[in-house]
Chain A
Amino acid sequence: MTIGGHFTYFITIFLMIAGLFIVIARGNLIKKLVGLGIFQTSVYLLYLAPAKLVGGTAPILSPAFTIYSNPLPHVLILTAIVVGVATLALGLALVVRIREGYDTIEEDEILALDAARDREAQAS
């Protein structure tokens, strides 16, 4: 168990934490979505790094090579990338509607506006 052997995991963890930090610490909705994208790409790296065999090649069969990297995680991540962009599109549509409804996309201001509306609805 060496540091060099686990280097890819450390990079993955750094990217994951960076994405997580952006999502929970920044208030702007579009920046949160970008942070979520960073988190997703770190998960792709988490799956792809163990699939690689040093000395192997891409999993396209050909008579010139004998060792191939594992194709199964590639398939999973291909699906994950497309699903990720689908959720990003839906998230952005929601952000656009929020902007039209509240006229802001900062999370603090949206919560304050909601609280003010609740107070008005209770007072009336």
Chain B
Amino acid sequence: MKNDLILRVIAKLLIPFIVMFAVYVQFHGDFGPGGGFQAGVILAAAVIFYALIYGLADARKVVPESVVESMMALGVLLYVGVGIAGLLLGGNFLDYFVLDPDPVHGQHRGIFWVEAGVAITVSGVMLKIFYMFADRGKADE
């Protein structure tokens, strides 16, 4: 599909907007529908779109396997890290109101980092599963 001009142009036009939409959904999860899961899936969909049009090798150069694998684990670690930060600062596990002198602002911080962790893990896992499925077919030839 790399040689088809229309698909290449449309992909180059659309992919930045898809990535921006994913970031918008992530950060506006507090004010409208959205949040970590949706943003992670949309981000993975953007990279899958790139891989479909330009081929798996090019997608691997843009987002290498090691980055994807570490993203999978980093998100869960970030989530648990927020929980342990609550423990260290005096509250229970996953207490947010101790993260800041103003308890409501502490909630904001906690929710922000937790949603970021969720988005990182979800996008990493979806992308890694796609890479594994696509790679399996290639090696059969």
Q: Is the CB of A58 within 8 A of B37?
A: no
Query: Are B32 and A60 in contact, with the CB atoms below 8 A?
Result: yes
Interfacial chain B residues near A82, Cβ < 8 Å: 37, 122
Does B33 contact A60, Cβ atoms closer than 8 Å? Answer: yes
Chain B at the A interface: mostly helix, strand, loop or mixed? Answer: helix
4 tightest A-B CB contacts, nearest first? A89-B129, A82-B37, A60-B32, A96-B136
Count of chain B residues with a beta carbon within 8 Å of a chain A beta carbon: 11
A41-60 vs B, CB cutoff 8 Å, 1 = contact: the mask equals: 00000000000000000101
Partner of B133, one of A58, A78, A86, A96: A96
Q: Nearest Cβ in chain A — how far from B115, in angstroms? A: 12
> B33 to A58, Cβ gap below 8 A?
yes
CA distance A89 to B132 in the complex (A): 11
* A78-B37 contact given A60-B32, A89-B129, CB 8 Å threshold: yes
Residues of A within 8 A of B37 (CB): 78, 81-82
